[in-house]
Amino acid sequence: MNKKLRVLIDTDVFLIDLRYTRDSKYSKNRHFLEQIKKGKLVGWTTIYNIMEICGILSFNLNPHRLQELFIGFAAQFNVRVLFPKAKEKDGRVFFIPAEILEIMKLKLSFGDALIADIAQKYSRRLDFFVTWNAVHFKKKLSFKVLTPDKLPPSP
């Protein structure tokens, strides 16, 4: 049995699909997301990516549609969602500012640092980080960073 590639998908990939359908990368982006939807690749994203997407689209969606997007996001794109690991016995999840600051020292924005933090903590589950902004993350994660059109075929 062949092992499917496990990819963590960044915000920009979803935004092109949801909002920027005239983008020059749209068809390559759509092809990549179709591989996820069909189960040819195992897709992951983080809760921070979903929150970022909802924040950006909140200007164009009514409250009901925004809530539907948030609640149905994982099913719509056939992805699994990574959350920060619980730090307290009651299960509350949060980030530790000092840890995020260390990641920001690698020249990452706050949002990108939150995503990179989760990516590193779950890196054993992931083969690639997929983003159109690969240059922002290269050499900042312990696994490969690629654009959707550069992903190798599944084994």
pLDDT at 131 over 70: yes
Contact 14, 130 (CB under 8 A): no
The confidence band for 15, taking pLDDT boundaries of 50, 70 and 90, is very high
Residue-number span of the structural domain to which 46 is assigned: 6-83+123-150
Tell me if 34 is assigned to some domain.
yes
| pLDDT (0 to 100) of residue 87 | 67
| pLDDT (0 to 100) of residue 95 | 79
| pLDDT (0 to 100) of residue 94 | 75
pLDDT at 86 over 70: no
C-alpha to C-alpha distance for 7 and 76, rounded to whole angstroms: 16
Tell me if 116 is assigned to some domain.
no
| pLDDT (0 to 100) of residue 153 | 75
Tell me if 89 is assigned to some domain.
no
Nearest-10 Cα torsion for 47, 53, 58, 60: -150
Tell me if 17 is assigned to some domain.
yes
Of 16, 6, 5, 11, the residue nearest 131 (C-alpha): 11
Tell me if 43 is assigned to some domain.
yes
pLDDT at 53 over 60: yes
- Number of domains present in the structure of the chain: 1
Average pLDDT, the chain: 93
Tell me if 93 is assigned to some domain.
no
Q: How far are the Cα atoms of 11, 61, 109, 110, 117 from residue 137, in angstroms, in the given order?
A: 13, 30, 11, 13, 12
The confidence band for 69, taking pLDDT boundaries of 50, 70 and 90, is very high
Tell me if 56 is assigned to some domain.
yes
Residue 19 belongs to a domain with what CATH number? 3.40.50.1010
Average pLDDT over every residue of 47-62: 97
Average pLDDT over every residue of 66-83: 98
| pLDDT (0 to 100) of residue 88 | 65
User: Is the model's pTM score more than 0.85?
Assistant: yes
Tell me if 117 is assigned to some domain.
no
**Percent of the chain's residues with pLDDT above 90:** 83
Contact 50, 70 (CB under 8 A): yes
